[in-house]
Amino acid sequence: MSTITRSARVSLKPIEVPKALQEGEKFIKWDEDSGTGLPVTLRVDPKGYFLYWTDQNMEVEMLDIATIRDVRTGGHAKVPKDPKIRNVVLIGSQGSLEEKTVTVCHGADFVNVTFINFCCTRKEIAQLWTEGLFTMAYNLNQLNNPTIKFLEKLHTKITLKADKSGKILVKNIVKLLAQNKEDKKRVEKALSESGLPTGKNDTISQCKFQFEDFFAFYKNLTQRTEVQKIFNNLTDGKPHLSANQLVEFLNVVQRDPRLNEILHPYADLQRAKDLIKTYEHNKYHQQRSQLTFDGFLRFLMSEDNPIVAPNKLDLCDDMEQPLAHYFINSSHNTYLTGHQITGKSSVEIYRQSLLAGCRCVELDFWNGRTDEPVIVHGYTFVPEISAKEVLEAIAESAFKTSDYPVILSFENHCNPRQQAKIANYCREIFGDMLLDKPLDSHQLEPGGELPPPSMLRNKIIIKNKKKHHHHHKKDDSVASEESEPRPEVPQGNGEVIAAALTRQGSSESSDSESSSGEEEAGGVDSAVGEDARETHAGAEISALVNYVQPVHFSSFENSEKKNRFYEMSSFDEKQATTLLKERPIEFVNYNKHQLSRVYPAGTRFDSSNFMPQVFWNAGCQLVALNYQTLDLAMQLNLGTYEYNRRCGYLLKPEFMRRKDRRLDPFAESTVDGIIAGTLSVTVLSGQLLTDKRCGTYVEVDMFGLPADTVRKKFRTRVAPNNGINPVYGEEPFVFKKVVLPELAMIRIAAHEESGRLVGHRVLPVLGLCPGYRHVNLRTELGLPLPASLLLLVVVKDYVPDRLSELAEALANPIKYQSELDKREHQLAKLTEDTDVPSEARPERPERAERHERHDAKRNNVQPIRAEDAPEGSPLKEAVLETKKLIENEIVSSPVPVNDKNSHETESKTNGTSDESLAEALEALLSLKVVRSKQEDLARKLDALRRKYDKEKKPATSKFYVSNAKKQLQKRLSTKNITEPVGGAEEGGAGGSAGAEWLQLERELRLKCHHAVYAALEKHVRQDQHTQMKALADALEVDKKEILTRLANSRKEDVKALAKKTNRDKDEINRIKREIHSQSVERGVAECCRLEQKYAVKREQLARAHDRLLQLLLKRREQDLLELERMCGEAGEG
């Protein structure tokens, strides 16, 4: 059995179809039900999309290669049980029937699998077809082809369905895309607009229905008005996009702003020209480096515009870490195909699970009636299957799609004799695949890490109770306990009560040597439950156990004390949830070194699943699910493990592996050292979602930490009666703060209006490509669909709302500058009549620049270098350093304002002493506006007196005028503004006429008083506004300087990093992210410091102005009282 093929054939290389498979081969196709053999010619289309066969009547049948689950020949191929059929299908004289048979296995889920059998003349032909078909079926491009390739696939399907004369039937095209009468008319209309016949019985020559013709038909059918709108916005309404405009589109819209420009250079003009050459089919525009709408649409649907970074699909994780550092794709009660109590068992589902990337399967061994061990769900109505057949199936399928280690989780209820037989079967069937002893480099000793997956390639690891010989020692007695607590015994009300988690000591260890109760779901009494416990491990099978030794979990403290990383424990979902809630941080730390397995609760009789993300958040490696149920949890599991070449292992984030990092799974704030992200997804439209005429909608959910998980919140409107080209609008779904992007996945699901799932896709947040992207949908099993969605994705690092502008500036200072200029221009139009006059606008004097240079020097802002940061937490150090800067910041004097009319006043109003305020007040009262109003008052009073003298006192007019001139000169001083004009007494001698004159004088003086102080109050408020604006401008200048300095520093650091060739790509990427995060953190912190400093200045300035305003108002009341008093006295006199 050691000769079994083990090489994993999963690949991302372009699909290549061997010439022999394209040309075809003669086979006899048979199935057991019909009892006949049918001669056919078997072929594969040149693109590798379909396996199809033609019979003697030229009738064509086909099978989508993406749906092929397995291809077998030799001992594992199907052969007819009926001797008559065997005689019919046996052709050729060489080789046995098994060796000349090719069995193709396909299906829409793990349970309902269909087999198609073909017999040929020689075993070499069978081997060629088996290898070729399997390699094509598991080429990752079958799943991850760009949207335009799925259109090619549709076109291929239509052409393969041609009639006997080789012509394409119009009715086949219509039937493929529509069921409803109205939708059929839409398809016919699109055919007509494409210049193709539309009649029900019409045919199309294949030479007139090449892919270009089909693509034109697709555009007429789906219209793609939403893409046309995007295109028009980019071209400003012109019919083509220039190469420069394409460069800008690639760098601004389609580029991840978090990428480093050294490691990931910006698109240049040559890149744009290459894309135009590839996707622009109009030679005229191609020669002029112009991209039309047709070429733009092709680009958006191409492999050059993927939704997920291609490296995420390939083997991208470091596979040299200890085994406990990975999430491992795991199955629960693998043998079951349905209900936990009344379902069926299957050998085949072991193959299907392993082929799908599962790396941990469960086997429940029980004593067989004929002394042969069987696998069965104990004390249920589930039929048994042969243990030997299961082991053979595992050996044959374990490493066909992944060569990384497989863990067999044994739950052993057999007697010693049958246990020994199981051990012998393992050795015989698995051969050198069986890891029956520890590696020399990784011995079983306290503190020793588990070996990495890379050192365990093509190895099968047994998880079974380990027999220990030193039970008198407490630690060893604990180690001898079974991994899973005593069985859950159903009570009278049907509830299942789990055993306690905290049993300790040798006196209880024997009781804990039992199964987890996974197999005793219900329907048995407590006595039977006691009998259901696992038996003691026999010496033979115990010898096979090494790196995965199950023990009863007592406490995190006990596990830490023993320090045995090769010991692991299992928990049902209820127990694991309790631990997660009560000891989340300890649970994460435990999983940094030891394996833990979580399985569904025994009450899930219907084989439903819990959400695996809950326990991935705690770092649990073996989160076991019921593969037979393709519910949401299983869909998420399949989608998550689709990445890293579907090898079944995903490296946990760094903070879940390192001792010096701490993670609380319930954290809502940013985790130390991790950059939170912001994700925005806009679902613009759908294409070919369903052939039904019904309403459709799309939901976008996120799964991650509890703080990151968002479900049933984001849903588009329903696009009514349209499954062909629904447009959903432009409402973005914003995931404002993703605390841990590395753990987060988004699920995009399209539904019919009734709620039925059309298709979905699970995407890693960390691998998402921003911009306008098409995403092709999958079935529940993860098989590709022709349906697609157009999304607009925006990704960036998270910052609080008030600092979002700063973060954008740090990522792109040039854009930030242009945005500020644009905003300033827009504001200028709005404030054209109310802004400060140009000559009074504040400037940046030399003193202010010296002040800023002093600040920069004192803050000692140096280039941020990753190598200078402490090991483990560079961001933390940066933040702490900035906090110190904030704490030590000495608030300096406010920024001076070089205002022509108020520079001197400003320097005084910033003072807070009574003396300085008094001086400022006096300066105010001597302003030009005050002098002009006083002069105006004097002129009016002089005119009034002249008029009065002329009419009433001509004899004394000369004296009065000269006296008035003297008084005018005296009253030019503001201190004397309230003194009555000399000569009032003389005027008062005139009786009633004098009283009238005094009343007029009083009115003029009061009017002047109010005008002067109103002007002064307005001046003070304008002065405050000017100085506040000056502070705001100064703050913006300081921010710009910070942005420029940090951006330059970051560039220098990255350039220096790029010159260091002694580091691998992952290390460079890590350091690059640290440099970027340091830059953002430092910039945010420095701007916080600036905000605080300027806030103090604004407060100080506002306080000074308030006091000055209060003094001014007080002076106004005093002057008013004095004016009233003197005018009153003059009147009396």
The most distant pair of C-alpha atoms in the chain lies apart, rounded to whole Å, by 155
Does position 327 have pLDDT exceeding 90, yes or no?
yes
Domain for residue 877, yes or no? no
Strand 360-366 relative to strand 406-412, pairing? parallel
* Residue 33's CATH number: 2.30.29.240
Q: Does residue 249 share a domain with residue 163?
A: no
Mean pLDDT confidence for 769-787: 97
Q: Does 332 participate in catalysis according to the annotation?
A: yes
Q: Does residue 506 share a domain with residue 593?
A: yes
| pLDDT: which is higher, 486 or 127 | 127
The mean-pLDDT minimum among 77-86, 435-444, 559-568, 876-885 falls in: 876-885
Q: Does residue 235 share a domain with residue 200?
A: no
The residues, ordered by sequence, that sit 6+ positions from 840 with a Cβ below 8 Å of its Cβ are 899, 900, 901, 902, 1026
Q: How many CA atoms, within 13 angstroms, populate the side-chain half-sphere of residue 224? A: 22
Does position 714 have pLDDT exceeding 50, yes or no?
yes
The residues, ordered by sequence, that sit 6+ positions from 268 with a Cβ below 8 Å of its Cβ are 247
Domain for residue 344, yes or no? yes
* Cβ pair 580, 587 in contact under 8 A: yes
Q: What is the pLDDT of residue 671?
A: 73
What is the domain range of residue 1104?
Answer: 922-1132
Q: Does 240 participate in catalysis according to the annotation?
A: no
Q: What is the pLDDT of residue 938?
A: 79
The mean-pLDDT minimum among 315-319, 520-524, 572-576 falls in: 520-524
Percent of the chain with pLDDT over 70: 77
Report how far residue 1084's alpha carbon sits from residue 4's, in angstroms, rounded to the nearest whole number. Answer: 59
Report how far residue 97's alpha carbon sits from residue 79's, in angstroms, rounded to the nearest whole number. Answer: 7
DSSP 8-state secondary structure symbol assigned to residue 891: P
Q: Does residue 583 share a domain with residue 467?
A: yes
C-alpha to C-alpha distances, 53 to 57, 679, 780, nearest whole angstrom = 11, 47, 28
Q: What is the pLDDT of residue 532?
A: 52
Mean pLDDT confidence for 27-46: 88
Taking CB atoms within 8 Å and a gap of at least 24, the contacts of 125-129 are 125/25, 125/100, 126/73, 126/99, 126/100, 126/101, 126/102, 127/73, 128/18, 128/20, 128/21, 129/21, 129/25, 129/42, 129/71, 129/102
Task: Identify the band that residue 815 occupies on the pLDDT scale cut at 50, 70 and 90.
Answer: low
Percent of the chain with pLDDT over 90: 56
Q: Does residue 650 share a domain with residue 681?
A: no
DSSP 8-state secondary structure symbol assigned to residue 450: P
* Residue 425's CATH number: 3.20.20.190
Does position 835 have pLDDT exceeding 70, yes or no?
no
Q: What is the pLDDT of residue 538?
A: 85
Report how far residue 1115's alpha carbon sits from residue 132's, in angstroms, rounded to the nearest whole number. Answer: 100
Q: What is the pLDDT of residue 1034?
A: 85
Domain for residue 810, yes or no? no
Q: How many CA atoms, within 13 angstroms, populate the side-chain half-sphere of residue 932? A: 6
Residues flagged as binding site for Ca(2+): 333, 362, 364, 411
- The C-alpha torsion from 450 through 455 and 456 to 458, rounded to 10°, is 170
Q: What is the pLDDT of residue 952?
A: 62
Q: What is the pLDDT of residue 1062?
A: 65
Q: Does residue 252 share a domain with residue 198?
A: no
Q: What is the pLDDT of residue 863?
A: 40
Q: Does residue 426 share a domain with residue 339?
A: yes
**Residues in the chain, overall count:** 1133
The mean-pLDDT minimum among 93-102, 478-487, 584-593, 1041-1050 falls in: 478-487
Does position 941 have pLDDT exceeding 80, yes or no?
no
Strand order in the sheet with 710-715: 710-715, 696-703, 745-752, 757-764, 771-778, 784-797, 677-687, 733-738
Q: Which of 741, 736, 642, 757 is nearest to 681 (CA)?
A: 736
Q: Does residue 447 share a domain with residue 329?
A: yes
* Residue 300's CATH number: 1.10.238.10
* Residue 1052's CATH number: 1.20.1230.10
β strands within 477-552, DSSP E: 489-490, 496-497, 549-550
Report how far residue 1006's alpha carbon sits from residue 1012's, in angstroms, rounded to the nearest whole number. Answer: 10
Domain count, the chain: 5
Q: Which of 646, 581, 497 is nearest to 140 (CA)?
A: 646
Domain for residue 214, yes or no? no
Domain for residue 169, yes or no? yes
N-terminal to C-terminal alpha carbon distance within the chain: 133
626: tokens are: 């019921």
Mean pLDDT confidence for 558-582: 95
Task: Identify the band that residue 483 occupies on the pLDDT scale cut at 50, 70 and 90.
Answer: very low
Domain for residue 1079, yes or no? yes
**For 602-630, how does the pLDDT look when each residue is reduced to its tens digit (9 = 90+)?**
999 999 999 999 999 999 999 999 999 99
* Residue 709's CATH number: 2.60.40.150
Task: Identify the band that residue 268 occupies on the pLDDT scale cut at 50, 70 and 90.
Answer: very high
DSSP string, 621-635: SEEEE-TT--SHHHH
* Cβ pair 749, 699 in contact under 8 A: yes
Domain for residue 771, yes or no? yes
Task: Identify the band that residue 816 occupies on the pLDDT scale cut at 50, 70 and 90.
Answer: low
Does position 660 have pLDDT exceeding 60, yes or no?
yes
Q: Coil, strand or helix: which one is 139?
A: strand
Where is the domain boundary, 746, 778, 798?
Answer: 798
The mean-pLDDT minimum among 174-188, 516-530, 990-1004 falls in: 516-530
Average pLDDT value over all residues in the chain = 81
Task: Determine which helix (DSSP H) or strand (DSSP E) holds 84, and give its type and residue range.
Answer: helix 83-89
Domain for residue 10, yes or no? no
DSSP string, 741-809: GGG-EEEEEEEETTS-EEEEEEEEGGGBPPEEEEEEEE-TT--EEEEEEEEEEEEEE---GGGHHHHHH
Mean pLDDT confidence for 136-145: 95
Q: Does residue 531 share a domain with residue 493?
A: yes
The residue from 339, 377, 413, 1076 that is catalytic is 377
| pLDDT: which is higher, 821 or 791 | 791
Q: What is the pLDDT of residue 100?
A: 92
Task: Identify the band that residue 911 occupies on the pLDDT scale cut at 50, 70 and 90.
Answer: very low
Q: Does residue 138 share a domain with residue 257?
A: no
**Alpha helix (H) ranges present in 972-991?**
984-988
Where is the domain boundary, 764, 798, 832?
Answer: 798
Q: Which of 224-228, 1003-1007, 1052-1056 has the highest mean pLDDT?
A: 224-228
Q: Does residue 328 share a domain with residue 296?
A: no
Task: Determine which helix (DSSP H) or strand (DSSP E) holds 476, and give its type and residue range.
Answer: helix 474-479
The mean-pLDDT minimum among 269-278, 661-670, 770-779 falls in: 661-670
Q: Does residue 717 share a domain with residue 646?
A: no
Does position 833 have pLDDT exceeding 90, yes or no?
no
Task: Identify the band that residue 324 occupies on the pLDDT scale cut at 50, 70 and 90.
Answer: very high
Q: Which of 841, 885, 906, 852 is nearest to 1037 (CA)?
A: 852
The residue from 106, 240, 285, 332 that is catalytic is 332
Where is the domain boundary, 757, 773, 798?
Answer: 798
Task: Determine which helix (DSSP H) or strand (DSSP E) holds 52, and give its type and residue range.
Answer: strand 50-54
Mean pLDDT confidence for 1092-1109: 83
